[in-house]
Amino acid sequence: MKTGNIRDFLYEPPGPRTQKRIRIITGIALLGLLALLGLIVRQFSVTGQFDTKYWSFFTKWTTWRFLGQGLLTTLEAALTGSAISFTLGFLLMRGKFQGKTVRGISAFLIEFTRGVPTLLFIYFFFLVVPKTGWKPSAFWKITLPCAISACGVVAEALRSGVNAVPGGQREAALSLGLSERRTFYRIVFPQAFRYVIPSLIAELVIVLKDTTFAYVVSCAELMQNAKVLISNYDAMLSIYLVVAVIYILINYLLNTLSERIAGSQRRSVQMIPEANKGVAAHG
Amino acid sequence: MDNHSSVPMIELRHVNKHYGDLHVLRDISLSVRKGEVVVIIGPSGSGKSTLCRSINRLETIDSGEIFLEGEPIPREGKKLAELRGQIGMVFQSFNLFAHMSVLDNITLAPVDVLRKGRKEAREEALQLLERVGVRDQADKVPAQLSGGQQQRAAIARSLAMHPKVMLFDEPTSALDPEMIQEVLNVIAELAKEGMTMLIVTHEMNFARRVADRVIFMDGGQIVEENTPDRFFSDPESQRARDFLHSLHAE
Ligand SMILES: Nc1ncnc2c1ncn2[C@@H]1O[C@H](COP(=O)(O)OP(=O)(O)OP(=O)(O)O)[C@@H](O)[C@H]1O
Ligand SMILES: [Mg+2]
């Protein structure tokens, strides 16, 4: 079985005439985009957004250090948050394979965390949690809600990975005398995990983006520090542009990483459908 | 068979199983003596796989009892895992662990279940791979092997547990014709060495050659038990006759 990009399954390869049409439409779209960009740039210069006062502070080392500190906090929050959400997600996924009660609770928690917007969890930690007497730092007030918000999605991703592992793998392990538990940890989960690495990295990107809500709790991460700079220099557009580029770069790197891993997986783990060819043909 | 012990290696007593309304195993009673090679034959859907898989409880049963050397095989728990380890199983689709090297596939259970030392397990695994003729593939992942090589490695993986009995569920059905023989040869070799085996197969020549006894199943029942010579030349039941006829017609 060939596993190509999902696009290969959704679209027929275009013929020569369609290709020509696609080229023309692409050309027109590009021209339109260029025109729009030109308009924006003109509008900026008219309103004086290119004045040196909006950009000169980027030559100062302290500006970059300040943004860099914010970026570090952002990365720290995203990584800690992801680690927590992967742990919670793993537990919820395990819960989904347990007896009725645990399964029900897990299913509820998964749906709940997936359904509620991250911002609500953040407000909860910001407004409600401190009233209980527990006063987490600003860092945790952003990291924990982001983690909780992501854990349901992680659980579902892991579960779909587990379900994608052919049943024969589990049966072979059981037939050798491994316990259900050992079978899961030695055979099923390692394969499931490889399948879902790309989804997990996508979720890491989402956690990273969610941490931009940190301004709500005044945690000094990238976005919050950007806001401080904006009020200091009264330069909104230039700073937002630079910060956006930083976010795009990070997420681009993560996506590249994810595609790399997915690609190498396809080369090494894709043997399974091959091994099951006979079974599939047999019904 | 120089077999004087009266306790059968495998024994099924009045085993029944349903899939919804479908009665797939109908009051199956059967025993396999130590060192005996029993081949199960029957049309598609007759319940051969279900029977095979129910022995080590990969398939649940509704009623009846199953014994390994006189010991009842429980439905769950530690004891079940322990007895499963003593029953080798070879699948149609090989089911080698896709994320490990061939060698690791074979050492996994001896190390994990039998608590063997890594080095010892490794040496034995290499010997087993040598025996089934894929020693040079030890460090590859299963996907890099041909179907025939994968199946032989899977047999080596079962043997590494020193099973008391081996179950084969159509071990060559997923293989290209030119690979079938190499796998059948390995199984025939095991038969010669006295391994107790229960084999589901559609390879009639092979069945005739290695079987001590043939069991013919149809519609979830054991319709006939016979010696291979009698079964293939002059079966007792009409259904077996029809079945063998349909094979020749193909
Ligand atoms: N999981 C299942 N759910 C429902 N019905 C099933 C299931 N597995 C098998 N069956 C049915 O049970 C019957 C016996 O199946 P089984 O696989 O044991 O047959 P078989 O003799 O091994 O056939 P084959 O030669 O095709 O492998 C068939 O009618 C099959 O459709
Ligand atoms: Mg079958």
Best probe of the A interface among B99, B144, B159, B161, by most A CBs < 10 A, is B99
Q: Per-residue confidence at A268, pLDDT binned at 50, 70, 90?
A: low
Q: Is the pLDDT of residue A280 over 60?
A: no
Give the three-state DSSP class for B95.
Answer: coil
**Predicted local distance difference test score (pLDDT) of residue B192:** 95
Q: What parts of chain B have a pLDDT lower than 70?
A: 1-5, 250
Mean pLDDT confidence for A25-50: 88
Lowest-pLDDT choice from A112-116, A221-225, B139-143: A221-225
Q: Is B173 within 8 Å of A177 when comparing Cβ atoms? A: no
- Residue A275: pLDDT band by 50, 70, 90 thresholds? very low
A276 in contact with B at a CB cutoff of 8 Å?
yes
Q: Which ligand is nearest to the CA of B54?
A: 1
Average pLDDT rounded to a whole number, residues A112-129: 92
Q: What is the mean pLDDT of chain A?
A: 85
pLDDT confidence tier of residue A229, bands split at 50, 70 and 90: confident
* The pLDDT value given to residue B4: 52
The answer to whether residue A278 scores a pLDDT higher than 50 is no
What percentage of residues in chain A have a pLDDT greater than 70? 89
- Taking CA atoms only, the protein residue closest to ligand 1 atom 18 is B47
Distant-in-sequence contacts of A269-272, Cβ < 8 A, 24+ apart: A269/A191, A269/A194, A269/A195, A269/B98, A269/B99, A269/B143, A270/A1, A270/A3, A270/B143, A271/B98, A271/B141, A271/B142, A271/B143, A271/B144, A272/A165, A272/A166, A272/A169, A272/A191, A272/B98, A272/B143
Whether the Cβ atoms of residue B153 and residue B145 lie closer than 8 Å to each other:
yes
pLDDT at residue A234, as a whole number: 82
What six digits make up the tokens of B145? 């092997």
What would the mean pLDDT of A91-100 be, rounded to a whole number? 94
Q: What is the structure's pLDDT at A104?
A: 96
pLDDT value of position A274: 39
What's the rounded Cα separation, in Å, for the pair B119 and B98? 22
Minimal-distance CA residue to ligand 1 atom 2: B19
CA of B46 to the centre of ligand 1 (A): 7
Tell me the CA–centroid distance for residue A152 and ligand 2, in Å. Answer: 39
* CB neighbours of residue A255 within 10 Å: 14
In this prediction the pTM is 0.83
User: What was the pLDDT predicted at A3?
Assistant: 42
A266 touches chain B (CB under 8 A): no
Task: Decide if pLDDT at A279 tops 50.
Answer: no
Residue A94 has pLDDT above 90, yes or no: yes
Identify the residue with better confidence: A253 or B30.
Answer: B30
pLDDT(A241) > 90: no
Interface contact B173, partner A, CB < 8 A: yes
- Please list every protein residue whose CB sits less than 6 Å from any atom of ligand 1: B 19, 22, 24, 42, 44-50
User: Which atom of ligand 1 approaches the CA of A283 most closely?
Assistant: 26
Report pLDDT for A11: 59
Look at B141 and A278 and tell me if their CB atoms are within 8 Å: no
pLDDT bracket for residue A283 (50, 70, 90): very low
Q: Is B207 on the interface with A (CB under 8 A)?
A: no
pLDDT at residue B5 in the model: 61
Measured from the CA of B200, which atom of ligand 1 is nearest? Answer: 22
Pocket-testing residue among B44, B58, B93, B169, ligand 1, by greatest number of atoms within 8 A of Cβ: B44
Using alpha carbons, select from B156, B151, B134 the residue that is nearest to residue A168. B151
pLDDT at A84 (0 to 100): 96
Work out the pLDDT band at A5, boundaries 50, 70, 90.
Answer: very low
Nearest CA to ligand 1 atom 11: B45
pLDDT at B1: 46
